[in-house]
Amino acid sequence: MTGQIEWLALSVFIFFFVLVTMMGFFASRWKSGAVPEHLDEWGLGGRQFGIWITWFLIGGDFYTAYTVIAVPALVYAVGAYGFFALPYTIVVYPLVFLIMPVLWKVAHANGYVTAADVVHGTYRSRGLELAVAMTGMVATMPYIALQLVGMGAVIKTMGLAGEWPIVAAFVILALYTYSSGLRAPALIAFVKDIMIYIVVLTAVVVVPAKLGGYGAVFAAAGEAFAAKGGATGLTLKPAQMLPYATLALGSALAAFMYPHTLTGVFAAKSADTIRKNAILLPAYTLLLGLIALLGYMAYAAGIKVTSPNDVVPVLFKTLFPSWFAGFAFAAIAIGALVPAAVMSIGAANLFTRNVWKSYVNPAITNAGEASVAKITSLIVKVGALAFTLFLPVQYALDLQLLGGLWILQTFPALVFGLVTRWFRAEALLLGWAAGISWGSWTAWSNGLKPLATLSFGDVSYTFYVGLGALILNVLVAVVATVIVGLISPNPNSAMAQSR
């Protein structure tokens, strides 16, 4: 797969990369506010993004380069089970429609920038605020590193050896993110998403036409899975139903708890913008389903790879002319830059507001907050790059698995406070600790697999570890709230009743 450089593909790739780089630096003057040195301006784009900008931005950082690489890779490896991302992205948008406009109103009214800001404003608990902030930052780091995995796969396919192309790309990313903040990925997301749509829609028409139609594609994939045996196949086995459903539900509940997706929500200009996006964003679910089919197409094309992550790049290199392969590779690489930028900004906002301001310099100015966030975003990207360069890719994959489990445990603290003040901060913190501890220990004991099994006599149930940890989290929070309430009345409940 490596070796001779594909010069035409590389030339097309470089053209689009230079284009988005110029857009990234230009973005500092796009929709800029009157006070540029302010965290609202740098970290949230001035909270003024309308329906279409928000649609592209949230879609850009929710459907990442690693999505384009990993979903077909999972389908290629395990078959139907890899499609769990489809019901997960169907379930998530009704939740967004119901919850996120309320969260936006709370954040907008109080000047909150992060989820931890909202939690502290609701419960006045520094401990719970810090738990939410640290969980968000730790869960985001491996997610950024995985964007490098997607970018590295296409760079390797074009014949470029070594790590210098990835280093160069991330240096450029760091510079224009430092300069332009959230406006850079918001502007670049327009190009990225349009390119991804062109690539995927072309692929799902052209590739089956070259391979004898979808009948031939599914037949080839079915034969390959039959030869593998085990749990792979074009349809789910009965034993996979519960794991599939719980993984989809748990992933849906976790998706908008990540700092980067919440950053896109807080940057919107109105609650109505969020509602309309919840209606429009399912268009990406259709796209995701088409992307997943590339895993089946690889079997019909006779693709053989040492790593499933190489399936999509090799498929495009094999079946398309070099210029279009370069276009597709550029789309995937740009699809890494957009979410990586938003993720680093989301983590920087958390550190600035909920660590630096809360514990180091409570009197920091608005300009000081922006400066700390800019520097932190650089450190986050350097850390993710070092993680990718010096540690095995599997480490990033394992930590991403744990990151999804961890971020899901912030759901009660963030969401429950939007509808009731009954829960106590101490109880939510205890529930968070219980969910994190049990979930991490269980995943680690199972070889960092996302599933756990409980047996009751002759009957056993296999389910997503993160969802099991969330259930434990909520149960502990409920019991602890009752116990603490017997000892001491809840001031939040009293205030709510008086209003």
Of 341, 363, 396, the residue that ends a domain is 396
186 and 86 within one domain: yes
80 and 114 within one domain: yes
100 and 216 within one domain: yes
Give the helix/strand (H/E) hosting 198: helix 183-211
Tokens of 18: 């230079």
143 and 268 within one domain: yes
Does residue 411 fall inside a structural domain?
no
Q: CA–CA distance from 390 to each of 69, 169, 264, 383, 398 (Å)?
A: 21, 17, 31, 11, 15
Does residue 328 fall inside a structural domain?
yes
With H, G, I as helix, E, B as strand and everything else as coil, classify residue 464. strand
Question: Tell me, what's the pLDDT at 442?
Answer: 92
491 and 363 within one domain: no
Taking the C-alpha atoms of residue 285 and residue 59, their distance in angstroms, rounded to an integer, is: 10
431 and 381 within one domain: no
Question: Tell me, what's the pLDDT at 33?
Answer: 55
204 and 126 within one domain: yes
Cα dihedral sign, 118-279-80-338: negative
Taking the C-alpha atoms of residue 331 and residue 151, their distance in angstroms, rounded to an integer, is: 10
Does residue 409 fall inside a structural domain?
no
Does residue 403 fall inside a structural domain?
no
Q: Which domain holds residue 429?
A: 420-499
What residue type is 361 in one-letter code?
A: N
436 and 295 within one domain: no
331 and 200 within one domain: yes
Opening angle at CA 302, ends 299 and 308, nearest 5: 60
Does residue 245 fall inside a structural domain?
yes
Which of the residues in the chain have pLDDT under 70? 1-3, 28, 30-36, 162, 394, 396, 490-499
- How many residues comprise the chain? 499
**Total number of domains in the chain:** 2
287 and 173 within one domain: yes
Q: Considering just the CA atoms, what is the radius of gyration of the chain in Å?
A: 23
Does residue 143 fall inside a structural domain?
yes
* Residues contacting residue 327 through CB under 8 Å, at least 6 positions apart: 12, 13, 16, 195, 198, 199
Q: CA–CA distance from 219 to each of 244, 302, 425 (Å)?
A: 23, 13, 55
pTM here is 0.89
Does residue 402 fall inside a structural domain?
no
Question: Tell me, what's the pLDDT at 490?
Answer: 65
Whether residue 284 contacts residue 89, with contact meaning beta carbons closer than 8 Å, is answered with yes
Does residue 468 fall inside a structural domain?
yes
311 and 437 within one domain: no
427 and 391 within one domain: no
